[in-house]
Amino acid sequence: MKIEHVFSCNDYTEEQKVKLAAAKFSYYAIFWWNKNQREMMREKGWEIDTWTEMRRVMQKRYVPTSYRRTMRQKLQRLSQGSLTVEKYYKEMEIALVRANIEEETEDTMARFLSVTNPNIRDVVEL
C-alpha cells in the first residue's frame, strides 16, 4: 500500500515502478527477486517489467493462500477488550482492509457495536 501511494504521487513508467519496488527489497527478497528475473529471462526470454505482474509474483511467493481466510477469522475474533474505542475501531478498519471486505457503513457500525464493551455500546446506541 505504501509503495502504491508513492506511485500515485509520481508519474513513473511501469519499468520504473518495478525498479523502485525492487530497490526497497532487502536481504532474502532481493536475492529471490534477482533469481526470479534471471529465471524468467532464461525460460521465457523476458523479465517482469510491470508493477501488476511484479505484485502478482510477489503475492504468489510471499502471501500464503490462507491469508484472506486468516484475516477474516481475525476480524471475526476481534473484540474491544481493554482497547480504547478509537484503538479498537482502527484495528477493525485495518482488519477489514486486510480481509478485503468492503461493506456499507451501517454494516460496519453493527459489526463495531456487536463486540464493543457493553457500557460503551449502551452509550453509543443512545
3-state secondary structure of 88: helix
| Domain extents in the chain | 2-62, 67-125
Q: How many Cα atoms within 13 Å fall on the side-chain side of residue 15?
A: 2
Spatial distance between the Cα atoms of 76 and 90, rounded to a whole number of angstroms:
15
3-state secondary structure of 24: coil
pTM over 0.85: no
pLDDT at 14: 95
**pLDDT < 50 positions in the chain:** none
